[in-house]
Amino acid sequence: MDLSDGNDPSGEANREFGGGPGLIEASDIDQKGWALTLTSVNEHSTILVAVHGPDGPGISAGLMSVLADAGVEIYDVEQIVVRGRLTLNVLVGVSGERATIRDLLFFGWERGLNVEFEKVEDTPTPTRPMSVVTLIGMSVGAADFGAVAAAIAEAGGNIDRIYRLSRYPVVSYELAVSNGNLDQMRENLVRTAAALPIDVAIQRDGLERRGKRMVIMDVDSTLIQDEVINLLAREAGVEERVSELTHLALTGAIDFEQSLRERVGLLKGLDQTAITRVHENITLTSGARTFIRTLKRLGLVTAIVSAGFTRFSDVLAADLGIDYALSNTLEMVDGHLTGDLVGEFVDGPRKARFLKTIAEAEGIPLSQVVAVGDGANDLEMLATAGLGIAFNAKPVVKERADTAISVPYLDAILFTMGIRRQHVEEADEADPFFEVGERIEVPGIPPL
């Protein structure tokens, strides 16, 4: 039989569809690519209907109309379109009536679609534990996908679905994974990511993963590209010594408070003019404004906490519309720094307490908090949050955080939260108070 020859498909074709004792399934292929054979069917069967082909308006509506006319039961539906190619799967319960299958095949022939059928077990699919794996990189190639898939499979996981979250400024994908040992998968993926030019995050899927309500982050080398104390030290002529102490403190090699007080002491005598120059030289991390703007649109509480200084963090918070800010205070007398700090000292434990204080005040469970940082003094804060992210961090932080991001764009964190770049851009375009600027070219992004 050939459905593509243009000869009265509703006549001869339908007679052939109805001529056997049961349902039509995939087997013999004719010129049009249709797969047709006959198989036995019980009084009631569960059938997986798979539709493939070029997408277009009205396909889902037409298919459901055929099923509705036949009075079948709909058990499950999944659909995806990739580059204009449709894959639509419908799990249905049908009686022994052959007309349903005949009508579906005729519908597919009319629309230029391939329609296949598979009889499946009537038993419900058991609930499976689900995880979400996020891949982020300047590019993500076949070797990267293969290594990640192998790491998941080795821990007993199965990839159910993959879709792209972004292709700008980085490429990112989200993988829905069923089953598997979460801890083993995490261990495998950390090891895999360390050997590849990509970042990989894994989280248990569920309401808490989708319902993040607060983001708190470090300032120096996270929200901004600089270490402010190093910029101040440059003005004071002691940059080399202060930079060395900063590095040792952030890697956990020396006591943080003792180191910071020593560095602040080296700034003694610095005047307001020098501090103003430092303000002018601070550079936001790429994507910082997009990140904060998107979080605010989503209604999330935002906070920054820094072992740096209020003279800088308070200005950043006001500029970006951040809800909460905490940092150390430099003492100034007669327009010059004294080399001392005043007020409560902000260190690692204080950062974690600040997170808890805000979460309690806002009525937010810690499991719905995201914390972002790069230094050893951020570790307690990252461990306190439901999701702790090491952003371009020191090795000791990468090893202990829930996930690590190494790309130089702060808004890449949005992708670990399941937010698509397309939605970010659409929100920008729809905002009458936001002026969409010229897109910065990023080499190597996918052309499609």
Q: Which residues are catalytic?
A: 218, 220
- H helices of 218-335, in order, are 228-236, 239-250, 256-265, 272-281, 288-297, 310-320
Q: What is the residue whose two structure tokens read 């597919």?
A: 108
Degrees, nearest 5: CA angle 429-436-201: 80
- DSSP bridge partners of 215: 302, 370
Q: Residue 312 CB: number of other CB atoms within 10 A?
A: 24
Residue 10's nearest CA partner among 66, 112, 18, 69 is 18
Q: Residue 382 CB: number of other CB atoms within 10 A?
A: 28
Strand order in the sheet with 158-166: 158-166, 171-178, 130-137, 199-204
- Check: CB of residue 201 under 8 Å from CB of residue 152: no
- DSSP bridge partners of 178: 130, 158
Q: How far is CA 254 from the centre of its chain?
A: 35
Q: Is the peptide bond before 129 cis (omega within 30 degrees of 0)?
A: no
- DSSP bridge partners of 202: 133
Query: Tokens in use for 93?
Result: 């319960």
Cα–Cα distance for residue pair 18/98, rounded to 1 Å: 6
